[in-house]
């Protein structure tokens, strides 16, 4: 799971991405796991979600 977090952060360093794009670039197979990690990282202040564009970005 720690490796998935690092992969997600490295994918988001390039540009803001939608959930499916994050999963593809970070090589996370399960959508629920990816979304849970993104929500935890949002609570920690590492990433943000733009509700208008539906994209995740580095916080």
- pLDDT of 1 reads 59
- pLDDT of 34 reads 92
Structure tokens at 55: 């994209």
Reported pTM = 0.86
pLDDT tens digits along 3-58: 888 999 999 998 999 999 999 999 988 999 999 999 999 999 999 999 999 999 99
Structure tokens at 12: 């988001």
E strand or H helix at 56, and its extent?
strand 55-58
Contact 45, 57 (CB under 8 A): no
Which residues make beta-bridge pairs with 47? 58
């Amino acid at each position: 799971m720690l490796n998935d977090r690092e992969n997600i952060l490295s994918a988001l360093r390039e540009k803001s991405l939608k959930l499916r794009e994050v999963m593809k670039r970070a090589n996370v197979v399960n959508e629920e796991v990816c979304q849970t990690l993104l929500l935890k990282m949002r609570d920690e202040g590492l990433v943000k979600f733009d509700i208008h564009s539906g994209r995740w970005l580095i916080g």
